[in-house]
């Protein structure tokens, strides 16, 4: 996958923290890929390799956290001030590499730049999407990343608001009893010891963190689309297809009406009517797809981004 950039409405600190907390994935990202609480396993090992330093940052190592990757070895390397390189090494020789950068741009906003690389024996499967223009293929791939990032945004923004309301040092504001919390603790120690605890404008988090509504939090246009030439071209392409389908729907409807008036056999009228309906449904689908480049909030239904699944409580008896 190519490099991907988003400008998110949450700060640098919580952005970097989220990448050092692997155990959250099974719960926060339930329903995405292999993630679910039922498949979670305890992290057996989570350790700091070497020392923390101002220039070299720190290096963490930990074991897997779900049934699929429980035997893998993970290495997370923080290179100051903003890079996190994570490598998952599996017994079958395959490696997954996550290269991430977090650039604070202004109070309460951070630029996320990332790339995912798979090493090892992989077979690329051809699909119908290969028939689409290259920029649209990339745009559709970018849309697939939003589910996870929206879930992360939901929690990171809430965390910032709670932290701001407490107005406490992280040692008192955070409750981290698990070995899996070592990553966040280590990052926070590096911040305190070598970087003043936070970017300069975050000295008083209560005045720099602002509550925002769902439209602002899940706004994809300002987060990514306006910066991405492939996504912008995708929007233009989809808008053209939508216009063509709308016009085609009208023409087919007029044709069906004309066939009825002049008494053409009903089967021809039925064909024109069915094609008109198909064209109308196609335009609806294209318009809905186009809107996904602008916002994560659906056009219809409740504007809720799923974080945790509702499940019945288990009886203790």
CA dihedral 271, 277, 280, 281 (to 10 degrees): -120
Residue 124's pLDDT is 60
Inter-CA distances, 314 with 43, 192, 282, 309, 311, Å: 24, 42, 44, 14, 9
Measured in whole angstroms, the distance separating CA 192 from the mean position of its chain's CA atoms is 29
Residue 131's pLDDT is 85
Residue 239's pLDDT is 97
Please list the pLDDT of the chain residue by residue as tens digits (317 residues).
678 999 999 999 999 999 999 988 888 888 787 888 889 998 989 999 999 999 999 999 999 999 988 889 999 999 999 999 999 999 888 999 999 999 998 888 999 999 998 876 555 666 777 788 999 999 999 999 898 899 999 999 998 888 888 878 888 888 888 888 999 999 999 999 999 888 876 555 555 678 888 899 999 999 999 999 999 999 999 999 999 999 999 999 999 889 888 888 888 889 999 999 999 999 999 999 999 999 998 877 666 666 655 555 444 33
Give the max Cα distance, the chain. Answer: 87
One-character DSSP codes across the chain? ---EEEEESS-HHHHHHHTT-GGGHHHHTTTSTT--GGGB-----EEEEEEEETTTEEEEEEE--BTTTTT-EEEEEEETTTEEEEEEE-TTS-EEEEEEEEEEEETTEEEEEEEEEEESS--PPP-GGGGS-HHHHHHHHHHHTHHHHHHHHHHHHHHHHHHHHHT--HHHH----SGGGHHHHHHHHHHHHHSTTS-GGGSSHHHH-----HHHHTBHHHHTGGG-HHHHHHHHHHHHHHHHHHHHHHHHHHHHHHHHHHT--HHHHHHHHHHHHHHHHHHHHHHHHHHTTTBSS-SSS------S---PPPP--
Residue 49's pLDDT is 95
Inter-CA distances, 190 with 8, 102, 147, 195, 204, Å: 23, 15, 30, 7, 19
Q: What is the C-alpha to C-alpha distance for residues 156 and 160, in angstroms, rounded to an integer?
A: 6
């Amino acid at each position: 996958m190519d490099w991907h950039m988003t400008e998110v409405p949450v700060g640098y600190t919580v952005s970097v923290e989220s990448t050092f907390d692997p155990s959250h994935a099974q719960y926060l990202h339930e329903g995405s890929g292999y993630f679910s609480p039922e498949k979670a396993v305890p992290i057996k090992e989570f350790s700091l390799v070497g020392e923390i330093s101002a220039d070299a940052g720190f290096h963490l190592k930990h074991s897997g956290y779900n049934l699929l990757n429980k035997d893998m070895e993970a290495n997370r390397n923080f290179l100051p001030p903003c890079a996190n390189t994570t490598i998952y090494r599996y017994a079958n020789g395959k490696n997954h590499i996550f290269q991430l950068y977090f650039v604070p741009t202004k109070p309460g906003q951070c630029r996320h730049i990332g790339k995912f690389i798979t090493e090892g024996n992989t077979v690329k499967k051809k699909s119908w999407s290969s028939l689409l223009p290259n920029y649209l293929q990339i745009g559709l791939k970018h849309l697939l990343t939003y589910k996870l990032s929206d879930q992360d945004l939901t929690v990171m923004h809430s965390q910032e608001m709670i932290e701001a309301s407490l107005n406490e040092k992280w040692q008192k504001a955070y409750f981290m009893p698990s070995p899996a919390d070592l990553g966040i603790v280590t990052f926070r120690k590096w911040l305190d010891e070598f970087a003043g605890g936070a970017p300069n404008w975050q000295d008083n988090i209560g005045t720099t963190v602002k509550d925002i509504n769902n439209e602002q939090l899940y706004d994809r246009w300002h987060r990514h689309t306006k910066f991405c030439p492939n996504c912008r071209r995708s929007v233009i392409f989809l808008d053209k297809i939508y216009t063509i389908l709308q016009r085609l729907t009208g023409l087919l409807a007029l044709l069906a009406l004309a066939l009825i008036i002049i008494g053409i056999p009903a089967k021809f009228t039925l064909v024109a009517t069915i094609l008109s309906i198909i064209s109308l449904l196609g335009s609806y689908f294209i318009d809905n797809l186009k809107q996904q480049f602008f916002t994560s909030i659906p056009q219809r239904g409740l504007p809720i981004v799923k974080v945790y699944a509702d499940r019945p409580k288990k009886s203790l008896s």
